[in-house]
Chain A
Amino acid sequence: MSPAETLLAALAVPIAGAGLIAAAHRVPNLREGITLATAVTLFALVASLLPQVAAGDRPAITLFEVMPGIALRLVVEPLGMLFAVIASGLWIVNSLYSIGYMRGNKEAHQTRFYVCFAGALAAAIGVAFAGNLFTLFLFYEALSLITYPLVTHHGTPEAMRAGRVYLGILIGTSIALFLVAIIWTWQLTGTMEFRPGGILGGDIPNATVGLLLALYVFGIGKAAVMPVHRWLPAAMVAPTPVSALLHAVAVVKAGVFSVLKIVVYVFGVDAIAGLTSVDWLPFMAGFTIIAASIVALRADNLKRRLAYSTVSQLSYVVLAAALLTPLSIIGAALHIATHALGKITLFFAAGAIYTAAHKTEVSQLDGIGWRMPWTMGAFAVGALSLIGVPPAAGFVSKWFIISGAIDAGHMTAVAVLVASTLLNAAYFLPIVYRAFFVAPPDDGHHAHGEAPLAMVVALVLTAAGTVALFFLIDWPLALARQLASG
């Protein structure tokens, strides 16, 4: 297959997979088999593009023209490549986990779940490989819509309320701000292509650039910069595999990925580096990092704590992008990968605890580590990665971001990063401590062991991946360096 065909196939495979899954709705084993096969095929396709992109190629395909001058176009560039590899790779693990979770908890509407999941992956791949702003927006909206049934999976009034918040914020911000920003860009420049060095450079007034940046950053609600972060905690009503892959990896990363991509390829790092109108963004991101960490600290519900941790970690990427130095851009790109691995491990662990012990609150986890050693061991690894302790991958990205902040002479950013590291430790380590060093309460409700095997295998895999990525950091680093050098 030529690279362009591979590109098209990467988009088509999950869509076709969704169709097959729907067709196989009567035979659960076949259905789950198809899910796994689709995930593996997708990963193989995406990975096959990696060598060419690493070598500097940019496979591209223009599907068709939507409106005069505006085409549906897919281009693979380093950042998209990185995102696509992470998303598709983790989908395999997540599918394994889903099978254990959905069966273990006897969830209803499983076919709908797998179909929407495959659709969400197709949309995520579309976001990753979007060749222009229009394509990006198209798949971005598709991702919001296709994940709605997953968020409201349980169909309870609570889930519907959460679904309203989820969709209201994501669709609301994207149409009211993101779309306006895109059309404004189109009107100013007459193009929507992503170009190294940006398309807005030159004669655009300072204030306009600042306003546009604000429209983009808050319009991309998936990046969860405060105050448009409320959808993410709301989305936690979904089954845990959804929270794990979508609301720790695919959806939220699509958000920060879009922000990073737009900063690099639409604004141009060098073009806006000196402008006063973009100075506010590091502070906004810094505020989100600290504020979300504090909320996480106070949250007793485990998934809620993880969600606010995600909000905080996402703003690392936004902060890094806003620092506008090559090192911080590298850090931003790497953080998309490292946080994904770390956070999915944590969610897997949370889901495993729920499935095996039906516990959702942090305060219930006393002594659980001895009953679920694999799960809590993986949890500890994930937590360490997020705090930034080597040899977990989170250390590398944090290193680059802090280096970038020092490089930019932005002392506030450095302070924020240090403070946030302490806060990370403050809200993750007590969980690990409780699990292993506090004696379990003697209420007789703890006669349980590990979660189903498929789930344990999955979470051990991602925990191992978190450590492995630390040692294999070269390939994402190579991609990130390409991005930073334009």
Chain B
Amino acid sequence: MISQHYPVLHVVLPLIAAPVMVLARHGGIAWLLATAVSWSSLAVSVALFAQVADGSVVSYAIGNWAPPWGIEYRIDSVNAFLLVLVSLIASVVAIYSRESVAAEVPREQHYLFYTMYVLCLAGLLGIAATGDGFNLFVFLEISSLSSYVLIALGRDRRALMASYQYLIMGTIGATFIVIGVGLLFLMTGTLNLADMAARLPGVTETRPVLAALAFLTVGICLKLALFPLHLWLPNAYAYAPSAVTAFLAATATKVSVYVLLRFYYTVFGESVVFAALPMGGILLALSLAAMFIASTIAIFQDDVKRLFAYSSVAQIGYITLGISFDSATGLTAAIVHLFNHALTKGALFMLLGGVALHLGRIRFRDIGGLARVMPLTSFGVVLAGLSLIGVPGTVGFVSKWYLVLAALEAGAGWLAALIVLSSLLAVVYVWRFVEVAYFREPSEAVSRLKEAPPSMLAASWVMVVGCVYFGLDASTTVGGAAQAAATLLGIGR
């Protein structure tokens, strides 16, 4: 039965597709393969998600070496949720990328672009699926290295510098993670995360374990761009090719959040991280700083992609804020916002990619009156922007609902007030776009613009519709997130 191999199949398929693309040396074939692989990964992930929806766990031994010794792929309701998210975004972006990449990347590099794209996908899915600490690091590097390449393919020469800075920061982050895993390995003698969790209670109070926690926290927070470790993110998102920005913004940081959750809840256990140590307070303070400072910086950006990149930093603050509550509702909020923010930012960056197709950089002063010539794109940006604000009927509202609920449950009314106040900052930067796009007279350059090609527009609108659909019918996403939160807390106790 092929279904028993599902836990590994979604990683293996893109891994096999990558060398085939290099051998084929043809952009069109590579795109077809990338699309096929993304969609098959999505199918496999959805099947897995359904399989573990009741809270069960699927374990897969690579090479048939039994778990604590061999590498185990371990799918529970947490990473199944993530697998669906990543492969879903990848599938939509794959459709989108054909026209976008054709316009932004030199023709002879197309097949390499798609190779890197599927490698990045394989890495992200691998991080989510694996149950082995070192294997996690390897997949992290696979996804990171390929994303450095993808970012460097941007048209602006600043993309090179952005990629270089991301490479330095990312490598430091990954090295921190591998140091943390190494220290845990030294203390427990195992790399299997579940096994590690079982052996840790005997040595939790020792200094190397605490050092491991510190290294892992800093390393992962670098990768997930928690304020103030976010410096790589705005440039990387702003200068990468549009398809890459959309894909990375929607998935890369989200997978890092998953790694943080996995280590905090499954490996260390909440009693160590939140009860014995003040991690909750630290995360809370940094999250609030991210929400307010990054949003404020976003307001003053002239480059629209940079604006939304800073907004990403702020939104990541919401996710970590949810984690810092260390409650079922807080975790549900964090996980559901993972999904919701991925949809929103994916939609936004994909739509902006349609504008960038002709304009290159998207600065406010260049897009006055955009709504006249690109009404569908502009309206999509507005809808996704409303989701960023958290207007009811969009996914952003669902996230905000659970986040505020978690704050009130924790008895922190002031926090609830801060959460809603910070979303008002989003009103300001979203409305900057509205006023520029709708109320200015189109300039000469703008009036020559056309709507993006149908395939790009359709893919973007799939995400926009998703923003609204999952905002109105959130039972699937909230249900999945709640199950994931229960799984995380259940293991921790």
Contacts and interface: CB of A to CB of B under 8 A. Distances in A.
Task: Find out whether A and B make contact in their complex, taking CB atoms under 8 A apart as touching.
Answer: yes
Best-surrounded residue of B392, B409, B431, B478 (most CB of chain A within 10 A): B392
Interface of B: 386, 389-393, 398, 400-401, 404-405, 408-409, 413, 416-417, 420-421, 423-424, 427, 431, 435, 438-439, 471-475, 478-479, 482
A68 interface: yes
Given A175-B424, A187-B409, A160 B439 contact: yes
Contacts of B416: 180, 183-184
Contacts of A262: none
Given A66-B398, A183-B401, 15 more contacts: A65-B475, A66-B471, A67-B401, A68-B479, A72-B472, A138-B393, A142-B392, A145-B386, A145-B391, A149-B438, A163-B435, A171-B427, A175-B427, A176-B417, A180-B420
Contacts of B389: 171, 175
B472 A167 contact: no
Interface string A116-144: 00000000000000000010011001100
A179 B438 CA distance: 28
Interface residues of A, number: 31
Contact of A66 (B386, B408, B472, B482): B472
Contacts of A168: 427
B409 A68 contact: no
B182 to A, nearest CB: 42
A152 interface: yes
Nearest 10 pairs between A and B by C-beta? A138-B392, A183-B404, A176-B420, A187-B408, A67-B474, A155-B439, A141-B391, A67-B478, A175-B420, A141-B392
Interface of A: 64-68, 72, 134, 137-138, 141-142, 145, 149, 152, 155, 160, 163-164, 167-168, 171-172, 175-177, 179-180, 183-184, 186-187
Given A176-B417, A176-B420, A187-B405, A64 B472 contact: yes
Nearest to A183: B404
B427 A160 contact: no
Nearest to B391: A141
Contacts of B427: 167-168, 171-172, 175
Given A68-B478, A180-B420, A137 B405 contact: no
Contact of B424 (A64, A149, A164, A176): A176
B314 to A, nearest CB: 15
A179 B475 contact: no
Nearest to B471: A66
A141 B392 CA distance: 7
24 contacts: A65-B473, A66-B472, A66-B473, A67-B398, A67-B401, A67-B478, A68-B479, A72-B472, A137-B392, A141-B391, A141-B393, A145-B391, A160-B435, A164-B431, A167-B431, A175-B420, A176-B424, A179-B420, A180-B404, A180-B416, A183-B408, A184-B408, A184-B416, A187-B409
Contacts of B391: 141, 145, 171
A218 to B, nearest CB: 13
Contacts of B409: 187
A301 B403 CA distance: 45
A175 B423 contact: yes
Contacts of B401: 67, 183
B250 to A, nearest CB: 22
A100 to B, nearest CB: 27
A68 B481 CA distance: 12
Best-surrounded residue of A134, A164, A167, A176 (most CB of chain B within 10 A): A176
A138 B398 CA distance: 12
Contacts of B420: 175-177, 179-180
Nearest to B416: A180
Contacts of A64: 472-473
B81 to A, nearest CB: 16
B393 A142 contact: yes
Given A137-B392, A138-B392, A176-B421, A68 B404 contact: no
Contacts of A183: 401, 404-405, 408, 416
A145 B421 CA distance: 19
A164 B421 CA distance: 17
A168 B425 CA distance: 10
A66 B473 CA distance: 4
Contacts of A72: 472
Best-surrounded residue of A67, A138, A172, A184 (most CB of chain B within 10 A): A67
Contacts of A177: 420
Contacts of B439: 152, 155, 160
Contacts of A138: 392-393
Nearest to B478: A67
Contact of A175 (B390, B408, B413, B479): B390
B41 to A, nearest CB: 28
Contacts of A179: 390, 400, 404, 420
